Structure formats: structure tokens, C-alpha cells
Amino acid sequence: MITGAEAIVRCLENEGVDIIFGYPGATIAPLYDKLSKSSIRHILVRHEQHAGHEASGYARIKKRPGVCMTTSGPGATNLITALATAYMDSVPLVAITGQVSSDLLGRDVFQEADITGAAEPFTKYSYLVKDALDLPRIIKEAFHIASTGRPGPVLIDIPVNVQQQRIDFSFAGEVNLRGYKPTIKGHTGQIKRVCKAINSAEQPLICVGGGIFAADGQAELKRFCETLNIPVVSTMMGISAMPSAHPLFMGMLGMHGKTIANQAITDSDLLIIIGARVSDRAVLFPAHVGKNTKIVHIDIDPAEIGKNLSTLIPVVGDAKEILIQILEAEPVRKSEEWTNSLKAKKEKLVLDYGPRENGINPKAFVNQLSRSLPEDHIYCADVGQNQIWSAANCEVRTGRFLTSGGMGTMGYSIPAAIGAKIADPDKAVVAVCGDGSFQMQMMELATISQHGVGIKIVVMKNNKLGLVKEIQKKSYKNNECAVDLSGSPDIVAIAKAYGIPGRRIDNMDEAEDAIAEMLSCQCVYLLECIVDENESSM
């Protein structure tokens, strides 16, 4: 006989879990007690939300579910933003929360919160465990659901008495969920229709989203577009699916995207969407899509197809599998004119990398930063102007670009970078945020110091909530309100207080030296960059 808590630990080990990001409390204490005696490493965060974001950064790099764990009540509710962020960006997480004793459920006792209810819109699935005998099956199912099909967060809420319950333990058999059988292979008839559409298209275009990473299909995408010589644009979530300098890559589309990418969407006669929701920020349909554009939509989630864009040829399945299937059917492209004209346009793009009167040029800076980093570095962008500067100017080669694309959660970059660095300690990982978002996550500097996580942090400081300020300027007659960040601390001094070295620069002349200093430092390093408050995002 073992306890429910021991059963959880054994099941997690059996799933290959080697790390958990979490924060303890009374109702999760039995599990912590057993976890401390296991092979699983625990990272103590400084706020539960960041436990979720760190698990997210970990999952995106490790390509398997990240695990986070908190106590009941506020511990669980603090996790919700991270669950919602992961849900919107289809990141596989398994979140474990403690719960009050099952015989007290529903009586509003101390630190009781209906977390399965509250998190329901933001989880792919959730469990409230009533009997420890169900734990092996539930944990196995949770990892299966989180990581297959369209990935997403799964929540397991476990009352404290269930963690203490003594059971005869055995591992669960194969997962069998009759209502959950994701489609992997594309329908042969639809593949044929796609081929026909490609054969007759004069101006085809690929729009790639975050789904390509879930399918681990970057190599197939590259082979696909190169074989057929079709230009590619990406959504925010699709950045780093292709190297920025690839001649066929035309950049990010959408509200904050490149004109060349948006124009290509309008001009194309065949748009092949791969693993993207095509939300309002990406495509303002029908304004941005040409009237005669035929749309092929490849997605593993059938509910995404036809939701935001009416689709001519839907193909449900795994992006990687489907790209292989289409290539095997050998479509033929006739005209190269369109691709060549886009390539020529891309070469003529003028970059706004000139010097500034005050502060650094953030666009030139992020470009220089990403070019100075090893080619396979992981770049974590936060939310705000910094996200747009990064998305448009960071030079991706073989690494990854991580950001909160769907939810736009401020305070994502540093915890995501922590998770990414722990997932792949050999990679250089940089988090780029603003002074607003920094202050939503600066408590994680303690997590970094405690666990020796060697990430690089860049804070763009303009003393404003820059993106909101831009909205106020544009749409609210310049009525600048509630965006002034006066009272903020000295960020380099804050880093120093956590034992983290850092430096501040306020012009581009120092950029090269400061970046070199940051990258030569073996451990964590924070670089604060002064940016003029009137610097625009585009």
C-alpha cells in the first residue's frame, strides 16, 4: 500500500517528468513531501503564474508537456493566467493543484476555490480527483491529452485527503478515450484537391502559424516551400518556422506585420494556411484577403477551419504529415514570376536602423542582439512595443522565437526564458521585455539566482507603457493617461540586489560593447536599454 501522493510521484516519473515548477501550500503538502524524495527536480518560483509560464517555456523547447504545481485557492487561481496563455498558444502543460479535503468541498473552507470550474474555458481538459485509485489513469490520460492532437494545458485538481489515501498501486494500461481520437493523416481526396489548386495557382502563398512547431514540421515546411518555390509569411506564433533571411520568407503579416507580407496576402490567388488560427491580429478578413483568393487550411483542430476565414479546401491533420503527403503527390508549379517579384521586393526593403537623438534605436538593437547571439539561440519576447520591435527585427536563424502570441500576456518572457534554458541548458536564451512587463515578472530574478539559470535579460526602458501610449495617441486624441511609469526602481540596481550583474546603455555607440559583455558573462546578466518615449512600434 502506498499513498496517493506517492502514486502521483511514481506516475510522473513514469511519464518521464524530470522537473516541476511550483509553489507549495497546505493542501499540496503531502505531494511535496513525497516529491522531495524522488528524482524529480523542483524549481521554486516566486509567483504561481510564473510556474505556469516556466513550464510553458520548458514545454515549447523540450517538445513535451511542462509540469507546474501549486496549492489550492489563491495558488490555483494565480495559475489561471498561465493556463489561459498556454491554451491560446496551444502549449502542452500538466498543472497539478492541491484542493481542500473532498469531504469539505463546496463549503467555502479556507483556501477553497473551484479551480476546475474557474479554469474550464482555459484548459483542454480538467480532472477533480475523488479517489486515489483513479490517479494512475488520470495522470496517464492528462499527459496524453496535453501532448497529442492540438496540444494544450490539462489541469488535475487533487484534494489533500486523496493525496493521503492509501491504495494498492499499479500503473494504468493504455489510454482509451472514445471521444478523443485526433486525426493525423490528411484525407487523400483533400490532398489531391490541394495539389490541383497548387498546379493551377499563379500566385500561391503559404501562411504558417505556431502549429508547425507542435507538429515539429519546420524541416518539412522548408522542403515544401523550396521544392515548390512558394513564398511564406508567418503569424506572430509562426516566427522562427523559417530563418528570417530565407529568400522565400516575407516576414510576419498582420496589424503589426510587414507591408510586403500583408500585400502578398491580398495579391495571392492561393493561400495555404498551416497551423494558424488567422485571428484578428493576423488577418482582418475580408479586408486583407483578395476576393478571388482560394484558401487551403491545414490544421489538426477541425474547429479552427472555417472559424475565422471561409475555406475552400480544409485539410484536417498533422501539419508535418500533410506537407509530406502533398509533396508525395508531386504538384507542379508553372510560373516563377510572382515568387521572383516578391523576392525582389524583399531585397529592396528599407530598414529603419538609423541613430536616435535620445536613447537607443530598439529596432536596430534587437537586430544586432540576435545577430550577435549563437545562431540557434532562443529569443523570448514579452508583450508591448518590445514584442513588435522583436518580431519585426530579430534575426532568426536556426533557433526559436517564443512569445505570448494569442493571449498577449505581459510578464511572459523571463519565466518562459527560465523554462527554455532549463529545457536546453546548452542554448543561449535571451528575454527581451519593457519596463512595464519587467515589473510584472521581476520577482523571478530570485528564482534565477536561486537555481543558477544563466539567461540574458534585456529591458527596454522608456518609463511608459509604450504600446498603450501609442493607442491613446492614435485613437484617443493623444489623451495620455495611466501610462506613466514614474516611481519605477533603478532596474540595474534591482538586478544587483538579486546578485545579478547588469549595465545600462542609452545610445547605440555602446550597444556592441554591452552586448559583447553580456554574452561573455557565463551567468545571468541584465542589460537595461534607454529608449525614447516617442519611439513608435512600427
Partner 1 sequence: MKHTISVLVENKAGVLSRISGLFARRGFNIDSLAVGTTEDKDISRITLLVDGDDYVAEQVTKQLNKQIDVIKVRKLNQEEITRRELVLVKVKMSVAQRGEIIDIVKIMQGEIVDISHTTLTVELSDKPEKIDLLIDLLSHYNIVEVARTGTIALQKGAEMV
Of 112-120, 226-234, 356-364, 482-490, which part binds partner 1 (CB under 8 A)? Answer: 112-120
Task: Pick one of 37, 107, 178, 348: the residue that binds partner 1 (CB under 8 A).
Answer: 178
Smallest separation, CB 127 to partner 1 (Å)? 9
Note whether 106 binds partner 1 by CB under 8 A: no
Site size toward partner 1, by CB under 8 A: 18
CA 251/CA 186 separation, integer angstroms? 27
Q: Which residue, 314 or 419, is less far from partner 1 as judged by CB? A: 314
Note whether 174 binds partner 1 by CB under 8 A: no
Smallest separation, CB 121 to partner 1 (Å)? 6
CA 320/CA 311 separation, integer angstroms? 20
Q: What are φ and ψ of residue 219, in 5° steps?
A: -65, -40
Q: Which residue, 145 or 221, is less far from partner 1 as judged by CB? A: 145
CA 423/CA 437 separation, integer angstroms? 23
DSSP at 484: B
Contact 216, 400 (CB under 8 A): no
Note whether 134 binds partner 1 by CB under 8 A: no
Note whether 122 binds partner 1 by CB under 8 A: no
Q: Which residue, 16 or 117, is less far from partner 1 as judged by CB? A: 117
Task: Pick one of 137, 223, 246, 307: the residue that binds partner 1 (CB under 8 A).
Answer: 307
Of 163-171, 176-184, 213-221, 516-524, which part binds partner 1 (CB under 8 A)? Answer: 176-184
Note whether 124 binds partner 1 by CB under 8 A: yes
CA 507/CA 524 separation, integer angstroms? 23
Note whether 287 binds partner 1 by CB under 8 A: no
Smallest separation, CB 112 to partner 1 (Å)? 17
Amino acid identity of 31? L
Note whether 87 binds partner 1 by CB under 8 A: no
Contact 519, 373 (CB under 8 A): yes
Note whether 177 binds partner 1 by CB under 8 A: yes
Note whether 133 binds partner 1 by CB under 8 A: no
Q: Helix or strand or coil: residue 190?
A: helix
Note whether 59 binds partner 1 by CB under 8 A: no
Indicate left, alpha or beta for 73 from its phi (over 0: left) and psi (-120 to 50: alpha). Answer: left
- Which residues, including other chains, have CB under 8 Å from residue 494's CB and lie 6 or more apart? 442, 445
Q: Which residue, 121 or 374, is less far from partner 1 as judged by CB? A: 121
Note whether 121 binds partner 1 by CB under 8 A: yes
Strand order in the sheet with 294-299: 249-252, 232-234, 204-208, 270-274, 294-299, 313-316
Smallest separation, CB 185 to partner 1 (Å)? 18
Of 82, 83, 79, 102, nearest in space to 158 by CA:
102
What are the DSSP calls for 40-67, one per residue?
A: -EEEE-SSHHHHHHHHHHHHHHHTS-EE
Smallest separation, CB 296 to partner 1 (Å)? 18
Smallest separation, CB 179 to partner 1 (Å)? 4
Contact 343, 264 (CB under 8 A): no
Task: Pick one of 116, 234, 311, 439: the residue that binds partner 1 (CB under 8 A).
Answer: 116
Of 168, 158, 87, nearest in space to 404 by CA:
87
Positive or negative, the Cα torsion across 422, 460, 82, 111?
positive
Within 179-208, the residues that bind partner 1 by CB under 8 A are 179-180
Of 18-26, 90-98, 117-125, 211-219, which part binds partner 1 (CB under 8 A)? Answer: 117-125
Q: Which residue, 406 or 411, is less far from partner 1 as judged by CB? A: 406
Q: Which residue, 39 or 310, is less far from partner 1 as judged by CB? A: 310
Task: Pick one of 7, 84, 129, 145: the residue that binds partner 1 (CB under 8 A).
Answer: 145
Note whether 499 binds partner 1 by CB under 8 A: no
Note whether 16 binds partner 1 by CB under 8 A: no
Q: Helix or strand or coil: residue 66?
A: strand
Task: Pick one of 21, 32, 87, 125: the residue that binds partner 1 (CB under 8 A).
Answer: 125
DSSP at 464: B
CA 205/CA 338 separation, integer angstroms? 10
Helix axes 511-520, 362-372, angle to 10 degrees: 40
Smallest separation, CB 125 to partner 1 (Å)? 5
Note whether 456 binds partner 1 by CB under 8 A: no
DSSP at 349: P
Within 238-257, the residues that bind partner 1 by CB under 8 A are none
Smallest separation, CB 507 to partner 1 (Å)? 49
Q: Which residue, 314 or 362, is less far from partner 1 as judged by CB? A: 314
Contact 155, 93 (CB under 8 A): no
Note whether 297 binds partner 1 by CB under 8 A: no
**Cis ω before 362 (30° cut-off from 0):** no
Note whether 128 binds partner 1 by CB under 8 A: yes
Q: Which residue, 307 or 473, is less far from partner 1 as judged by CB? A: 307
Of 4-12, 15-23, 171-179, 270-278, which part binds partner 1 (CB under 8 A)? Answer: 171-179
All three cell numbers of 180: 478523443
Angstrom distances, CA of residue 34 to CA of 2, 23, 127, 139: 11, 15, 21, 16
Other beta carbons within 10 angstroms of residue 357's beta carbon come to 7
All three cell numbers of 105: 468541498
Binding site for partner 1 (CB under 8 A): 116-117, 120-121, 124-126, 128, 145, 177-180, 301-303, 306-307
